Amino acid sequence: MVRLYRVERDGGSAYVAERLGTWRLVDGDIFGAFREGAEIDPEGLTFMAPVTPSKIVCVGLNYKDHAAEQQKALPDEPVLFIKPSTAVIGPDAAIQLPAWAGRVDHEAELGVVIGRPAFQVPANRAADYILGLTAVNDVTARDLQKKDGTTPAARASTPSRQSGPASRSGWRAATCRCVGTSTGTCGRTHGPAS
């Protein structure tokens, strides 16, 4: 398995692959063809959000305890909503809460990074479209959510969605399990286990 990191480099960003403790620059496109290039020292790297998505598709009320906490029944169909890409920040960036936020909740989430365009993909082929998994700290302004009865406005504050530091690639659904994601910092402790 390989962990893909997006890091600051030469005034921009670059991808770095870490495999078994060896760090290498990535040559090519992580969403297409790439290879692991020159070895680098990870000391002093500044981690950015692992990807820059065009949008974030979220699933709400996706587990029983959360539905009960919101005093809502589990939905028959998934409750989907979109967050803007501008909500994404890196694992060490400060979440900037608006003054009007009121009660703010954060939840450790497992982010699925889609690696190529997908439409009406059969369930048995879904894993073929996944580049990797990443940790996400989902932040919601609950007072606003209760006031307007919707989720998007309460979750779209910029910048409010820490992610990373890595996208874990090469996983298999049958062996994936989640372990101690830190919702406080969403830093070096991240979701998918080896």
* pLDDT given for residue 166 in this prediction: 67
Let me know: does 58 contact 150? Beta carbons within 8 Å.
Answer: no
Q: Specify the CATH number for 55-175; select among 3.20.20.100, 3.90.850.10, 2.40.50.140, 2.40.70.10.
A: 3.90.850.10
- Range of lowest pLDDT (6-20, 33-47, 76-90, 108-122): 76-90
* pLDDT given for residue 151 in this prediction: 55
What is the identity of the amino acid at 159?
Answer: P
- Range of lowest pLDDT (33-42, 59-68, 138-147): 138-147
pLDDT band at residue 156 under the 50/70/90 scheme: low
39 or 101, higher pLDDT: 39
State the Cα–Cα distance between residues 172 and 128, nearest whole angstrom: 10
Task: List the one residue out of 49, 18, 51, 17 whose CA is nearest residue 26.
Answer: 17
Q: pTM of the prediction?
A: 0.74
* pLDDT given for residue 97 in this prediction: 80
118 or 161, higher pLDDT: 118
State the Cα–Cα distance between residues 159 and 177, nearest whole angstrom: 28
* pLDDT given for residue 47 in this prediction: 94
The whole-number average pLDDT for the span 174-184 is: 35
Pairing of strands 166-169, 104-114: unpaired
Every domain of the chain with CATH number 3.90.850.10 lies at: 55-175
